[in-house]
């Protein structure tokens, strides 16, 4: 299915529309309220954007420093050029340590390589422990629809049905009861797993640490109970210092869920040392390129500043109406409209940079000041250059600029146009069906013009004086 | 004060009354309004659709037509935003045009911003009376900083009552060619906007961009609402005039 068909299906799904409506008001309001706690929101955004940009400007150097420091603390740093490399590394690690059962906290990067499927194909058991991801996993690996709330498209009743069916329990009506049920199921998995996989919100170069920002304690359990911990994230997630993390953390939870701070922030540095009680005995970092180095050298490189808060999609009026699944790949919403074409090829996602009104609501809420509409426009330029748009559109645009460069001809054409549109509008002065404009008139009328252009009327006024 | 008036291609074709109303407002504030006769389009359709070279040609044309004026004023946040905030990007590789475009950008204003902050208009001639709600068009709000200006002007007319809708800053779904390419999504967004407008019980929704006007009015009428007026802020402030060919 293509974008338009998926969007069409979402727009017609009454249940989804109801769920989306609820989601929309919640995140927008909580973010706005949380940001009032900061003295200087704009200054903090400026600083956060600069921190991320500084990391990207010398990414190779920060990554090397990270590798040196992580290795010095007993961790192993592995590099994955492609999504397939991620899966290969994880399976290798599991084999090396004889791990059969894997618990996993949230990682969007692992969605890029469909890691769970690869692990299962290799005969390993994997259990998602983020509640949202767990819901999707037991629903036959339904894809996530949001980067921080993967199951946001589902409501309480849908989850209650799913739990009753999959757990073989009585149907619960309270969210707290459903949470207790999930906790009970997941606790046994935590205790029996021999390997834990997490994502990574930040990799800290000066300490070789990974930072995990979560709300359910599942990442803490996943990374400290099993003897092996594997943290997977993109190479762009490195930041120079812990001080930088402190600044970014002023904005990440506030922008994401409207929390001053998330319930848990784990900073994991190295393997369990002698005499230490907590931590994994073996720690691996898988740093994933999978298109990121290419983006770094492209016109849309600022997209790599992203700290995955989800504010752009929470505030996007297109996302709010069509939901995350319409975008077709791992990352939905405005940031997805840049990342998806960049990672899987513009020719495979030609609608995404186009399906935006460029209202810039995303740009003004982004905590690291990614100029999202400008980046969408860069990709539109590439589509135009590479002739990825329909010929009719390219022809129309060329014809428009040709005509508008010729004032006399333009005046004549618009004079005729204004009259023709007036006629089409009839007595009601409303056009119900516009030739070649079905995209407009399928759902709207076109108010008809009065029949004379301003240019004509103004010239008449001038001569009348 | 010589003010170059950028009509915008949409107003020229679809609703000249907006331009006449804007000119009356500018003149009432003491401006001498010039309307360069060769003007056509600011280049935004091409720019936002990836046709850089087409957009560049039209942008260069606007620069040469308006650079002699003391100000450029447009009855549109979208077109003035294009000129003020995007021309520099179009000419980033052309130092000569870049400096001319930047100079023009610095004196480019959205109509209500100009009326409030440059002309400091303290009286408006308009005779509109009734309850209105104001829709903040995206480019006006987020590129040109237009938020309080139209509200301040509306407040100068004692017969106008402003009733705000909760999501007045949410996009109406127009988005230029988006409205045709993704008509179904665009229509839904317009529908949400219409619902909010209707819920305020206002007699008219007022706004500053004709693209959004056509979108909102088009959806209101298709919904069967023939009574809620959709008016440009200039039309509300300047009142009706027989010479403008204004719509009823």
Judge whether residue A325 has pLDDT over 50: yes
| Cβ contact B187–A442 (<8 Å) | yes
Nearest by CB: B16 against A374, A429, A452: A452
Question: Do B176 and B215 contact (CB within 8 A), yes or no?
Answer: no
List CB contacts (< 8 A) between B181 and chain A. Answer: 354, 393, 439
pLDDT at B241: 57
pLDDT at B242: 46
Distance CA A199, CA A325 (A): 21
pLDDT in tens, A160-184: 999 999 999 999 999 999 999 999 9
Asked if residue B67 is part of any domain, the answer here is yes
| Cβ contact B185–A445 (<8 Å) | no
Asked if residue B122 is part of any domain, the answer here is no
pLDDT at A277: 87
Q: How far is A253 from chain B (nearest CA, A)?
A: 23
DSSP per residue, A125-176: EEEE-SHHHHHHHHTTSPPPSSSS-TTTT--HHHHHHHHHHHHT-PPP-SHH
Asked if residue B144 is part of any domain, the answer here is yes
Question: Do B55 and B46 contact (CB within 8 A), yes or no?
Answer: yes
Nearest by CB: B214 against A358, A446, A450: A446
Q: Is B107 helix (H, G, I), strand (E, B) or coil?
A: coil
pLDDT at B243: 42
List CB contacts (< 8 A) between A447 and chain B. Answer: 14, 213-214, 217-218, 221, 230
Q: What is the dihedral of CA A44, A232, A148, A348, to 10 degrees?
A: 100
Asked if residue B123 is part of any domain, the answer here is no
pLDDT classification of A99: cutoffs 50, 70, 90: very high
Nearest by CB: A397 against B45, B181, B245: B45
pLDDT at B247: 42
* The domain boundary residue, chosen from B83, B117, B151: B117
Among all residues of chain A, which has the CA nearest to that of B21? Answer: A454
pLDDT at A306: 98
Burial B126-139 (b: 16+ CB within 10 A, else e): bebeeebbbbbbbb
- Same domain (yes/no): B69, B10: yes
Q: Domain count of chain B? A: 2
- Give span(s): CATH 3.40.50.10420, chain A: 41-290
Distance CA B228, CA A130 (A): 48
Q: How far is A445 from chain B (nearest CA, A)?
A: 4
Structural domain of B28: 2-117
Residues with pLDDT less than 50, chain B: 242-248
Judge whether residue A31 has pLDDT over 80: yes
List CB contacts (< 8 A) between A451 and chain B. Answer: 245
| Cβ contact A11–B184 (<8 Å) | yes
Tell me the CATH number of domain A41-290, given options 3.40.920.10, 2.40.50.40, 3.40.50.2000, 3.40.50.10420. Answer: 3.40.50.10420
Listed in sequence order, the residues at least 6 apart from B206 whose beta carbon sits closer than 8 Å to its beta carbon are B132, B133, B134, B135, B150, B154, B231, B232, B233, B236
pLDDT at B125: 85
Q: How far is B35 from chain A (nearest CA, A)?
A: 9
Q: How far is A250 from chain B (nearest CA, A)?
A: 24
Q: How far is A364 from chain B (nearest CA, A)?
A: 8
- Same domain (yes/no): B85, B176: no
Nearest by CB: A453 against B12, B192, B214: B12
- Same domain (yes/no): B139, B238: yes
pLDDT in tens, A211-266: 999 999 999 999 999 999 999 999 999 999 999 999 999 999 999 999 999 999 99
Asked if residue B125 is part of any domain, the answer here is no
Q: Is A238 helix (H, G, I), strand (E, B) or coil?
A: strand
Among all residues of chain B, which has the CA nearest to that of A461? Answer: B243
- Same domain (yes/no): B48, B150: no
- Same domain (yes/no): B159, B86: no
| Cβ contact A404–B9 (<8 Å) | yes
- Same domain (yes/no): B6, B104: yes
- Same domain (yes/no): B239, B141: yes
Asked if residue B124 is part of any domain, the answer here is no
pLDDT at B240: 65
Cα R_g (chain B), whole angstroms: 17
pLDDT in tens, B102-136: 999 999 999 999 999 999 999 888 778 999 999 99
pLDDT at A24: 84
Among all residues of chain B, which has the CA nearest to that of A326? Answer: B185
Residue B34: φ, ψ to 5°: -110, 140
Distance CA A24, CA A42 (A): 23
- Same domain (yes/no): B78, B10: yes
| Cβ contact B41–A389 (<8 Å) | no
| Cβ contact A446–B39 (<8 Å) | no
- Same domain (yes/no): B137, B237: yes
Nearest by CB: A440 against B139, B179, B185: B179
Place of tokens 């009552």: B161
- Same domain (yes/no): B113, B145: no
Report ipTM for this prediction: 0.95
- Same domain (yes/no): B94, B164: no
pLDDT at B245: 41
> Choosing among B75, B78, B182, B232, which should be mutated to test the A contact, i.e. which has the most A CBs within 10 A?
B182
DSSP per residue, B173-200: S-TTTHHHHTHHHHHHHHHHHHHHHHHH
Judge whether residue A435 has pLDDT over 90: no
Among all residues of chain B, which has the CA nearest to that of A364? Answer: B142
Asked if residue B70 is part of any domain, the answer here is yes
Q: Is B109 helix (H, G, I), strand (E, B) or coil?
A: strand
Judge whether residue A464 has pLDDT over 70: no
- Residue A232's nearest CA partner among A121, A137, A102, A321 is A102
List CB contacts (< 8 A) between A2 and chain B. Answer: none
* The domain boundary residue, chosen from B117, B146, B167: B117
Q: What percent of chain A has pLDDT above 70?
A: 99
pLDDT at A461: 80
Q: Read off the tokens for B74.
A: 């447009």
Distance CA B146, CA B75 (A): 12
């Amino acid at each position: 299915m293509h974008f338009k068909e998926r969007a069409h299906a979402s727009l017609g799904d009454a249940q989804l529309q109801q769920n989306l409506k609820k989601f929309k008001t919640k995140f927008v309001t909580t973010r706005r309220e949380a940001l009032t706690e900061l003295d200087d929101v704009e200054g903090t955004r400026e600083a956060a954007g600069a921190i991320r940009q500084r990391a990207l400007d010398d990414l190779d150097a920060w990554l090397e420093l990270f590798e040196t420091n992580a290795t010095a603390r007993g961790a192993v740093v592995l590099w994955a050029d492609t999504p397939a490399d991620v899966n290969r590394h994880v399976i290798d690690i599991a084999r090396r340590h004889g791990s059969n059962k894997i618990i996993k906290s949230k990682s969007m990067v692992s969605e890029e390589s469909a890691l769970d499927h690869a692990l299962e194909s290799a005969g390993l058991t994997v259990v998602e422990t983020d509640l949202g991801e767990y819901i999707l996993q037991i629903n036959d690996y339904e894809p996530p629809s949001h980067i921080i709330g993967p199951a946001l498209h589902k409501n309480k009743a849908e989850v209650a049905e799913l739990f009753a069916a999959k757990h073989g329990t009585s149907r619960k009506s309270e969210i707290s009861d459903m949470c207790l049920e999930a906790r009970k199921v997941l606790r046994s998995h935590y205790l029996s797993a021999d390997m834990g996989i997490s994502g990574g919100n930040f990799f800290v170069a000066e300490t070789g640490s990974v930072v995990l920002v979560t709300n359910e304690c599942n990442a803490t359990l996943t990374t400290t109970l099993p003897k092996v911990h594997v943290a997977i994230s993109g190479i762009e997630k490195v930041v120079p210092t812990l001080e930088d993390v402190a600044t970014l953390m002023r904005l990440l939870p506030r922008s994401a869920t409207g929390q001053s701070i998330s319930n848990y922030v784990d900073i994991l540095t190295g393997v369990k040392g002698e005499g230490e009680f907590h931590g994994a005995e073996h720690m691996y970092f898988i740093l994933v390129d999978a298109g990121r180095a290419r983006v770094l050298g492209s016109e849309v490189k600022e997209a790599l500043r992203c700290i995955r808060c989800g504010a752009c999609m929470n505030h996007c009026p297109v996302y709010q109406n069509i939901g995350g699944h319409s975008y077709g790949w791992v990352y939905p919403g405005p940031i997805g409209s840049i990342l998806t074409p960049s990672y899987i090829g513009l020719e495979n996602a030609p609608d995404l940079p186009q399906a935006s009104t460029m209202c810039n609501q995303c740009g003004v809420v982004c905590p690291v000041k990614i100029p999202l509409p400008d980046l969408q426009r860069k990709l539109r330029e590439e589509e135009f250059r590479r002739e990825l748009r329909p010929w009719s559109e390219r022809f129309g645009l060329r014809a428009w600029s040709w005509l508008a460069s010729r004032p006399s001809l333009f005046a004549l054409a618009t004079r005729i146009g204004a009259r023709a549109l007036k006629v089409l509008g009839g007595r009601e002065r409303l056009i119900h069906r516009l030739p070649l404009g079905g995209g407009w008139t399928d759902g709207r009328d076109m108010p008809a013009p009065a029949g004379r252009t301003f240019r004509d009327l103004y010239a008449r006024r001038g001569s009348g004086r | 004060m010589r003010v170059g008036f950028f009509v915008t291609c949409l107003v020229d074709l679809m609703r000249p009354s907006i331009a006449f109303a804007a000119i009356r407002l500018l003149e009432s504030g003491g401006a001498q309004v010039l309307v360069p006769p060769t003007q056509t389009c600011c280049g935004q359709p091409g720019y936002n659709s990836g046709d850089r070279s087409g957009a560049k040609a039209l942008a260069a044309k606007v620069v040469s037509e308006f650079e002699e004026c003391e100000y450029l004023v447009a009855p549109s946040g979208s077109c003035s935003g294009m000129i003020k905030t995007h021309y520099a990007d179009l000419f980033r590789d052309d130092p000569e045009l870049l400096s001319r475009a930047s100079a023009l950008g610095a004196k480019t204003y959205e109509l209500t911003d100009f009326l409030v902050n440059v002309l400091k208009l303290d009286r408006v001639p308009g005779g509109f009376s009734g309850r209105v709600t104001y829709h903040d068009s995206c480019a006006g709000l987020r590129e040109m900083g237009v938020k309080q200006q139209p509200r301040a002007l509306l407040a100068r007319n004692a017969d106008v009552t402003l009733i705000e809708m909760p999501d007045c800053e949410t996009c109406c779904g127009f988005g230029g060619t988006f409205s045709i390419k993704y008509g179904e999504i665009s229509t839904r967004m317009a529908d949400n906007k219409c619902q909010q407008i209707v819920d305020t019980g206002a007699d008219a929704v007022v706004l500053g961009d004709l693209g959004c006007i056509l979108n909102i009015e088009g959806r209101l009428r298709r919904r069967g609402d023939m009574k809620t007026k959709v008016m440009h802020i200039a039309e509300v402030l300047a009142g009706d005039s027989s010479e403008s060919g204004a719509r009823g």
